[in-house]
Amino acid sequence: MDKELEDALAEYEDGELDVDKDKELAGVGAMLDVSGGEDELPVTKDDIIGALSDLFTGKKESIEAKIAAVKETIASKLAELKQKLEDAYNSIDWEGMRMYLWVSERVRNDTWGFDIVRTKDGVEFEVVTDNGLGDKYNYGCPAFLSTEEGLYVGTSNPFYGGQLWLIQDKSDIPEDRVAISGTVTSFLDEEARVTVDLYNELGNNPYGCDVFGNETEYEILNAEPGEYTLKVSKDNHVTREMTVVIGEYPIALDLKICPIGDVTGDGIVNTTDSMRVNLHAKGAALITDEYAFACGDVNHDGTINTVDFMRINAHAKGAAKLF
Ligand SMILES: [Ca+2]
Ligand SMILES: [Ca+2]
C-alpha cells in the first residue's frame, strides 16, 4: 500500500475527518476577518471558505474511492489465489500420492534387511530370509551364483561392508536369536514410534527395533556379543541411555522413558514436577536419579535451576508448552 493511502486510511480510521466541519470553517473565517474589510482582499472570505469546504469533501471522497479500489484489488487477488489452489489441487496425481504413501508405510514398517524368496512353480513362494540373513544393514543382495556347492549370495552393506554367503541348505540360514527383550513403557501419543537401539563402541547402530504403544514388548534380535549403549527414544520424551553387555544368553530388561519435564516419572508434567525441580534448584532436596535429572533439565545445560523450574511451571499451567 502506498504511503499516502496508508496515511489517509489511518486518518480515516482515527476519525480525524469527523471534525465539525462548520466549526472549523468558521474558525478559518474568523482568522481571515482582517481589519479593513474583506472587500479589499483579492478573493472574498466566502471564496476561501468555499474552497476549503470543497477540499474537505473532495478528500473524503477520494479516500472512499481508494478504499473501494483496495477492496476490489483484494477481491481479485483472492479470486486469483482460489483459482491457483484449484489448479494445484486438480494437478495432483492423487492415485500416485496414495500409492506413494502406501509404499512409504510398508517400507517404514517392514523388517529391515533384504528378502529372498524361492519358488518351484512360480505360484507358491517360500521365504528364505526377510531380514538380510539376520543383519538389518544387509540392505540388498545384488549378486547370486548357483553352483553345485550351493547358492552364493553377495550382500550390499553400506555400513561395514558386503558379505559373501554360501547357502547349502536351510540350516545355513541363521535362526533369529533374541539378544535382549522386555517391556518398554512410555507416555503421550500411543501411536508414536518408540525406538530401542544398540550402539557399539564405534557409535554405529547395528541392532535395534521400533515398536508402537505406550506399554509394549520389544525384542532385539541377533546382536553379536559385546558391550553396547542401549538408547530408548520417543518424540517429546527424554532419551534413556544405559550400557548393556550382550552375551551368549538373552537378556530380559524392562525399559521406561518419560516426557520432558516429568521428574516424578508418572508420565504427567504438572506442578508436582515443577515443585520438585524448585526444591532441587533451592538446594532443599536434590534430584539424584540421573534419568529424573535429565527429565528436569529441560534446557539441557547440565544443571537444574530456576530456569528449568519456570519452564516446567509454565508448561504445567498451560502458559508455554514444553512440547
Ligand atoms: Ca510427573
Ligand atoms: Ca537446566
Residue ranges in the chain whose pLDDT is less than 70? 1-2, 5, 8-9, 12-19, 21, 29, 31-43
CA 261 – ligand 1 centroid, Å? 7
CA 268 – ligand 2 centroid, Å? 19
CA 237 – ligand 1 centroid, Å? 12
Residue type, 192: A
Which cell numbers in the block locate residue 1?
Answer: 500500500
pLDDT at 191: 95
- Let me know whether 81 and 49 are in one domain: yes
- Let me know whether 225 and 151 are in one domain: no
In order, the DSSP letters of 205-223 are --EEEEEESSEEEEEEESP
pLDDT at 19: 63
CA 316 – ligand 2 centroid, Å? 17
- Let me know whether 228 and 242 are in one domain: yes
Q: Report if residue 286 sits inside a domain.
A: yes
Q: Report if residue 98 sits inside a domain.
A: no
pLDDT at 260: 98
CA 236 – ligand 2 centroid, Å? 17
- Let me know whether 283 and 309 are in one domain: yes
pLDDT at 109: 74
pLDDT at 289: 96
Q: Report if residue 234 sits inside a domain.
A: yes
Ion ligand 1 neighbours (CB, 5 A) are: 262, 264, 266, 268, 273
Q: Report if residue 96 sits inside a domain.
A: no
CA 235 – ligand 2 centroid, Å? 20
| Distance from C-alpha of 323 to C-alpha of 316, rounded to nearest angstrom | 11
Residue type, 287: I
Q: Which ligand is nearest to the CA of 303?
A: 2
CA 113 – ligand 2 centroid, Å? 40
The H-or-E segment that residue 59 falls in is helix 45-91
Q: What are phi and psi of 134, to 5 degrees?
A: 85, 10
**Residue 44 CA: distances (Å) to CA of 142, 181, 267:** 102, 102, 85
CA 264 – ligand 2 centroid, Å? 16
- Let me know whether 192 and 243 are in one domain: yes
Residue 308 near residue 281 (C-beta atoms within 8 A): yes
- Let me know whether 35 and 72 are in one domain: yes
CA 239 – ligand 1 centroid, Å? 16
- Let me know whether 20 and 76 are in one domain: yes
In order, the DSSP letters of 75-101 are HHHHHHHHHHHHHHHHHS-HHHHHHHH
CA 299 – ligand 1 centroid, Å? 17
CA 259 – ligand 1 centroid, Å? 8
Q: What are the DSSP E strand ranges found in the chain?
A: 116-119, 125-129, 140-146, 151-156, 164-167, 178-185, 193-199, 207-212, 215-221, 226-233, 240-246, 251-252, 255-256
pLDDT at 282: 95
- Let me know whether 193 and 142 are in one domain: no
The residue out of 125, 143, 172 marking a domain boundary is 172
What is the Cα 143 distance to its own chain's centre? 40
Q: Which ligand is nearest to the CA of 302?
A: 2
CA 205 – ligand 2 centroid, Å? 29
| Distance from C-alpha of 95 to C-alpha of 109, rounded to nearest angstrom | 21
- Let me know whether 217 and 287 are in one domain: no
| Distance from C-alpha of 223 to C-alpha of 179, rounded to nearest angstrom | 6
- Let me know whether 190 and 248 are in one domain: yes
Residue 15 sits at the vertex; the CA angle it makes with 11 and 18, to the nearest 5 degrees, is 115
Q: Report if residue 106 sits inside a domain.
A: no
Q: Which ligand is nearest to the CA of 308?
A: 2
| Distance from C-alpha of 318 to C-alpha of 273, rounded to nearest angstrom | 14
Q: Which ligand is nearest to the CA of 309?
A: 2
CA 304 – ligand 2 centroid, Å? 4
CA 313 – ligand 1 centroid, Å? 12
**Residue 168 CA: distances (Å) to CA of 147, 162, 164, 322:** 10, 19, 13, 56
pLDDT at 234: 98
The residue out of 147, 172, 197 marking a domain boundary is 172
CA 308 – ligand 1 centroid, Å? 14
pLDDT at 245: 96
Q: Report if residue 102 sits inside a domain.
A: no
Q: Which ligand is nearest to the CA of 268?
A: 1
CA 280 – ligand 1 centroid, Å? 15
Q: Report if residue 265 sits inside a domain.
A: no
CA atoms lying within 13 Å on the CB side of residue 273? 31
pLDDT at 45: 73
Total number of domains constituting the chain: 4
Which cell numbers in the block locate residue 246?
Answer: 550382550
CA 185 – ligand 1 centroid, Å? 15
- Let me know whether 161 and 84 are in one domain: no
- For CA atoms 302, 306, 311, 315, the dihedral sign is positive
Domain that holds residue 205: 178-256
Residue 207 near residue 223 (C-beta atoms within 8 A): yes
**Residue 120 CA: distances (Å) to CA of 114, 125, 152, 250:** 20, 8, 19, 37
pLDDT in tens, 282-299: 999 999 999 999 999 999
pLDDT at 312: 97
